[in-house]
Structure formats: C-alpha cells, structure tokens
Amino acid sequence: MSRFRMYPTSEQTGVMLDHCAHARYVWNLAVEQHSYWYKGRKSAPGFAEQCRQLTEARRDSEWLRGGNADVQQQALKDFATAKTAKFTSGFGEPRWRKKYVHEGFRVIGTDRVPEFEADGSPKLNAKGTQVMGRSVVVRRLNGRWAQVKVPGCGWVRFRLTRAELPKAKTFRVTFRNGQWHIAFAVIPEAIDAPATGEVIGIDRGVKITAALSDGRKLNCPQLTVKERAQIRKHQRRAARAPQGSHAKTAGYARVARLKAREADRRKDWCEKTSTMLARTYGLVRFEKLNIKNMTASAKGTVEQPGKKVRQKTGLNRAILAQGWGLLRQRTEHKAPGRVEDVPAPFTSLRCSACGWIEKKSRKSQADFVCVSCGFTCNADENAATNVAAGQSGFPRPRRPAGAGGTTVATGRSSVREPQSIRVGIPLF
C-alpha cells in the first residue's frame, strides 16, 4: 500500500466530499439491507443483485444519480469484501459509517493495459487473447509532485515521496482531520537479503523503543513539550465550551490534528526503520509480545473495580505511542521469511554471557550486572543479545536426576540454574 498526501483545489474538494457522501450512503444501505433483509429470503442479496438495485435507486434518486456510478459500485464491492472477511479473517460484521469520521471512497482504474504472468509472458484468456486489465492514470509533474485522475475532479495533485510512480489497479481517497490522502493498492516487492547474513535481535520497550543487539538504540519520535501543552490547552477549552457550540468542535478538531501529526511521525519512523532492518540484516528477531493483552484496560467491572486505573492508562498510552506492532508488521512485509519471534519471558533477566537467570541482576531500567559472572552492560542491550541468539528462559529446564544434589536452591535463596551450557563453563 503506497500512501501519499493530496492537495486538491476548492472545487475538487467539493466534488470529492460528494463522492464520500455517496459511498457512505450506499454502504449504510447495504448494512441496513443485510441487517433486515427481505422476509422469505434464505440469504441477503449478493453483490450482483445489489448492483442491479443500485441502478434502480439511481434512476429514482436525483441526488444519487448526480454521483459517480463507479464510486458507488466500489462501495458495494468493499461491503462484499468486508462480509467475506468476517468468515475468512475473523472480522466482525460491517458497521455503519458516520459523517466526519468515515470519509473516503475507492476508485478503480480506467486505463486499459495488457497483463503479464509472473515470468513475464503475456497473460492469455481461454480464447488465447491477451487479457487487458485496468490501471490508474498517474503522471509525474516533477521530482516532488505528481497527478492522479479522479472521476469528476480531473487531475488532482499529490506529494510524491517515492522514486517511482505507483502502478495500481485501484486507489482509495480518504479525508480526515482536514487532510486528504490517497492510497494505491500496490503490493511492494520484497527487499533482498544482504550477503552478510547477519542476525539482529530487537528488544522493544517504553523508554527505548527498539534496542538492537549491536548496541544501537532507536527511539520513535513523539510530540514535543510545546505540542503536548497545546493539546492540554485545547482540551481544557473544549471541555469548558457549551455543548454543541462551535468552540467545542473547533477545540477537539485542533487536538485531533495534533494527534494525527504524532501518528504520521510514528508511521514514517516505522517505515524507515523497517526498511533499514530489511536491507541491513539477513535475519531479524523480535521478542514475542502480546500487545493486545499488555494494553488491556484495568478498569474492571462495577462489582470488581480495578486498581491503579489511571497509572495503567498512562502505561497503555505510552506503549501504543511506540509503534511496536507496526514496526514488526512492516518488517515482515519487507523481509518475508526473514523475521522470527523469540519468547519474551526472562530475556531481560538472563545473562547473555553465562546464561544465568537472576532477578537481582537487573539493577535498574538501564543497568544489568550478573550476580553469577559479574558481566555488566546495558539492560536493553543484554535483552536484545538474548533475542538475537534465540535464547530465553521459557520453558525453564529442571535439574537432571542424580546430578550433584536434589535441589538447585535451598530455603529462600533466589539462585536459579543457567538456561544454556557454554563450553568451558560447568553447570554445577
């Protein structure tokens, strides 16, 4: 998926907003129809029948007839895809789309171009004729700007942030927080693995977003102190404004734009970092984290309310601001087959030099001093080294029977046996 920022004129903005309204209206009609389908039918109408019904609706409605038919049909196509994804991918039922929240539409290409097989040979149909597919009409203006043809709008400019023009069959236009974006449906080519074949381990955290086993530490950009102060100021003003007033709407809109800026910075950092990892290292290993469970709310229920809810909310917000999941996902997309997950338990407590696991070795967030061999290093770097080696403390091994005693620890001592046996280091 290639995403770019669009800069339409005022007239083009009005036309595209109408496209958004028509696509949202058709989508909601499909949702309502599948929620309360006709009595006596065994199943709801499919995509083909909905298209025939759309033709009749356009004949009866002047407002709907004034919109683009392809945009409205693609909204029905998106709905059919969403219904299929409910069973294939585990997603829920398609939901209603709201004004000012779900503003967007999809356009299919109008230019007819020949299609080819993976080996470069022409793609032929059953009659032996070469298949002609659709393609989006895009042209370059200069090194920084390009244009795309949108139905009813003509040529619309967008900021070109890649070396080559996108070649796609469809694209989606979205409008949110006062900004227009265009996303081309392109499957990017995988990045070739470097000849070095180097293995890198990545430990993800809140203080340091990504600590690499080679000593580098990467941090996801956040909002500045001034921008955070602006968010708090606008939130206070919006909360004190009268209900339904323009001041309340404008205040929350300013907050949304600042938060969208933070999200754009996070996505940009994840894209650049994942590209660097795919190009530099032959194998990338992440610690396996269940981010969904880690960021679950601690609010609890009325009968059993949670404890330290505000503290947990702040921690969840800090975790989600790091982009852990997006970094892992984009690295897998760019380096398929070269990304592995290592179990996370005890990776930060295990000594990367001797393999000893001890809670007291972790002196602080940044310091690690092994109580067994005295090895000292940064705690995040030590964990990343364990991840790169594919070593963790889960599951913890037991002492073999008859090997110098019956127990590893006695009383309340916290001494634990090492998780790996290295050459020259006795186990007992």
Which residue has 């909601």 as its token pair? 28
In DSSP terms, 130 is beta-bridged to: 124
Given a cut of 80, is residue 152 above it in pLDDT? yes
The enclosing H or E element of 181 equals strand 179-184
pTM, entire model = 0.76
- pLDDT at position 131 is 54
pLDDT by residue (tens digit) across 398-421? 434 443 333 333 333 344 444 433
Q: What CA–CA distance (Å, rounded) separates 94 from 102?
A: 13
More confident residue, 9 or 177: 9
- pLDDT at position 259 is 93
More confident residue, 403 or 378: 378
pLDDT by residue (tens digit) across 72-131? 999 999 999 888 887 777 677 888 999 888 899 999 877 665 566 666 666 666 666 655
- pLDDT at position 127 is 63
Q: What CA–CA distance (Å, rounded) separates 51 from 292?
A: 38
Residue type for position 331: T
In which band, very low, low, confident or very high, does the pLDDT at 221 lie, cut at 50, 70 and 90? very high
More confident residue, 196 or 22: 22
- Mean pLDDT value across residues 276-282: 92
* Mean pLDDT score of the chain: 83
Given a cut of 70, is residue 397 above it in pLDDT? no
In the chain, where are the structural domains located? 2-184, 199-343
CA distances in angstroms from 97 to 66, 79, 105, listed in the order given: 21, 11, 12
Rg, Å, the chain Cα set? 28
Q: What CA–CA distance (Å, rounded) separates 327 from 322?
A: 9
Given a cut of 50, is residue 311 above it in pLDDT? yes
Smallest CA-to-CA distance from 228 within 312, 321, 326 is with: 321
- pLDDT at position 412 is 37
In which band, very low, low, confident or very high, does the pLDDT at 304 lie, cut at 50, 70 and 90? confident
Token pair in block for residue 169: 């069959």
In which band, very low, low, confident or very high, does the pLDDT at 186 lie, cut at 50, 70 and 90? confident
Given a cut of 60, is residue 38 above it in pLDDT? no
Token pair in block for residue 256: 């949304």
- pLDDT at position 91 is 74
- Mean pLDDT value across residues 335-342: 91
- Mean pLDDT value across residues 13-34: 92
The DSSP result for 188-204, as a single string, is PPPPPPPTT--EEEEEE
Given a cut of 80, is residue 241 above it in pLDDT? yes
Smallest CA-to-CA distance from 29 within 79, 100, 104 is with: 79
Residue type for position 179: Q
